[in-house]
Amino acid sequence: MNISYNWLKEYVDFDLTPDEVAAALTSIGLETGSVEEVQTVKGGLEGLVIGEVLTCEPHPNSDHMHITTVNLAASARSEHRSAEMRCIRVGSFRAAKGRADRKP
């Protein structure tokens, strides 16, 4: 049987790490096979970049593409970085100036 650490914390108030919980459960006679980290999104959010769309113009050779200028330093994680502008071709109909979107 698998038990979620976060689920257990909803029912019991404790300040133990997952490994310490496993050791505590084992010490009272409940067998724990292993502790595994499970990610909702496989690979986590590693490589995810958030930026602010500064400009959004129609692509000259396409009726559904846009060419955007994106400030990648707009994310909270990079608030101490200087502005990093990128020109990105976008196929999303939601792309618009002032919008903060994610790109993998």
Q: Is residue 99 very low, low, confident or very high in pLDDT (cuts 50, 70, 90)?
A: low
Strand, helix or coil for residue 1: coil
Longest distance between any two alpha carbons in the chain, whole Å: 69
Q: What is the pLDDT of residue 78?
A: 46
Q: How many CB atoms within 10 Å of residue 27? A: 8
Are 57 and 47 contacting, i.e. CB atoms less than 8 angstroms apart? no
What are the pLDDT digits (tens) for 28-62?
999 888 998 887 787 777 777 788 888 999 899 98
What are the pLDDT digits (tens) for 22-37?
999 999 999 888 998 8
